[in-house]
Amino acid sequence: MKGIDVAAIKRDFPILKIKVNGRPFVYLDSAATSQKPLQVIEAIDKYYNEYNANIHRGVYQIAERATEAYIDSKRKVGALIGTRAIEEVIYVRNTTEGINLVAMTWGDQNIKKGDHILISEMEHHSNIVPWQILAKKKGAVIDYIKLDRQRCELSYESLEKELAKSPKIVAVTQVSNVLGSINDVKKITKMAKKGGAAVLVDGAQSVPHMPVDVNAIGCDFLAFSGHKMLAPTGIGVLYGKRELLDNMEPLFGGGDMIKTVDFQSFTTNDLPWKFEAGTSNIEGGIVFGTAIDYLNRIGMARIRDHEVKLTRYALDAIEGVRGIKVYGCPKSEPEKRGGVISFSINKVHPHDVASIFDRNGIAIRAGHHCAMPLVTGVLGQGAVSRVSFYIYNDERDVDRAVEAIGDVKRVFRVA
Ligand SMILES: Cc1ncc(COP(=O)(O)O)c(C=O)c1O
């Protein structure tokens, strides 16, 4: 597969031209949020300069243009994940809101006292806490698929064992934001469906980085965030199978989600609008389409290929350094992980590691990465450092990270 032209891509991202502490800026925190290309920034400008109006309601020209652009963006989002039906594409604020929406509607209607909800040990808080809130309210039980420590993926033995309890829903991440592990969500869905469970996939770290097809996976719900894939913050997606969405009550009441209202009652609007009450994030929704155009021009398969190569390069460089512990799959298996590498440097606090990276002009993450049960409970760490890659990163960025690790070791006298 032909590689991607990272130098040309870098030129599209104005922020990558700045200097931090006198050094050219290197951004290695795309798992938290991605940077935005000029095309996206200009599309925001264009919307406000040329056709800012509320959607669905106006009969004047710019309102119709805004409505069409918003709907067109949903078509692009749907096509990206393998559905032609915009009825199945609900715009929410982010992954977190998408998962909460499922827990508060589908969960509220389908989970009863004593029911089991199955998630995994490697979930982000966004795919733990909504289920804990629901379980507390309903008197349900949350079970966890264990991590296979050797293989750094979910244990199928543990999955089998937990599925024997007949959970009503299985909710798992496709890619871990800490370990980078890629879970075989197609296989997990197939196993879960045998027992009749609904399946939700957290696609926050997968949809921006690789081809994802909801039909191939067979899941009922998929949630992901625009801001991790070149779009602005405040726009995300909940995909849901139509037959499930049809039977779910709306979460919020108000404008746009209704067809009719009288003094006593209302009837709901068609999908997906039933779940989009009030004025939407119109700017974010429209510009999400521009972000997807940008990613499609590169191609999701090529993006994935680029990240596998870069991750291999980085693992080769980092794992060999004395005093460093890398979490997740070993370097011989970069195909099994996304472009995320968490690590510790002997006896140095991860926040100090991140500060020294910053001194070197490099942005990385340090902390529990909103996955405390995994980082603290399973890995036994208070915090870890993390580098994560995207389309605008190259080997030179990794070399800069390795130099910064050398700086950390020098400052803290790590042997
Ligand atoms: C695996 C995973 N799930 C969910 C989220 C939550 O995403 P958001 O904050 O955009 O809702 C994140 C964010 O980092 C994540 O990595």
pLDDT band at 143 (very low <50, low <70, confident <90, very high): very high
d(CA 34, CA 198): 31
Amino acid at 356: I
**Mean of the pLDDT values across residues 24-39?**
98
Asked if 353 contacts 17 with a C-beta cutoff of 8 angstroms, the reply is: no
Give the ranges where 175-240 is alpha helix by DSSP (H): 185-194, 214-217
Name the residue among 268, 273, 226, 235 with its Cα closest to residue 249. 268
pLDDT attached to residue 165: 98
Helix (H, G, I), strand (E, B) or coil at 258: strand
pLDDT digits (tens, 9 = 90+) for 149-175: 776 889 999 999 999 999 999 999 999
152 is catalytic: no
CATH architecture of 51-296: 3-Layer(aba) Sandwich (3.40)
State residue 331's pLDDT score. Answer: 75
* Confidence check: pLDDT of 14 > 90: yes
Determine if ligand 1 sits within 6 Å of the CB of residue 94.
yes
Ligand 1: residue of 30, 93, 96 to mutate (most ligand atoms within 8 A of CB) is 96
The per-residue pLDDT for range 377-412, each reduced to its tens digit, is 999 999 999 999 999 999 999 999 999 999 999 999
Domain with CATH 3.40.640.10 in the chain: 51-296
Residue-wise pLDDT for 185-228, tens only, equals: 999 999 999 999 999 999 999 999 999 999 999 999 999 999 99
Whether pLDDT at 145 is above 90 = yes
β 116-120/141-145 pair status = parallel
CA distances from 171 to 153, 155, 174, 183, 307 (A): 15, 15, 10, 12, 26
Ligand 1 geometric centre to CA of 262 (Å): 39
pLDDT in tens, 87-104: 999 999 999 999 999 999
Average pLDDT value for the chain = 96
Of the chain, the percentage scoring pLDDT greater than 90 comes to 94
- Given a contact cutoff of 8 angstroms between Cβ atoms, the answer to whether 213 and 234 are in contact is no
Residue nearest to atom 7 of ligand 1 (CA): 95
Residues in the chain, how many?
A: 415
**What is the helix (H) or strand (E) element at residue 148, kind and residue range?**
strand 147-148
Every domain of the chain with CATH number 3.90.1150.10 lies at 6-29+299-411
- The pTM (predicted TM-score) of the whole model is 0.98
Q: What's the sign of the alpha-carbon dihedral 350, 351, 353, 354? A: positive
Which pLDDT band holds residue 330 (cuts at 50, 70, 90)?
confident
CA distance 233 to 284: 7
Phi, psi (degrees; rounded to nearest 5) at 396:
-60, -35
Q: How far is the CA of 204 from the centre of ligand 1 (A)?
A: 5
Is CATH 3.40.50.2300 correct for 6-29+299-411? no
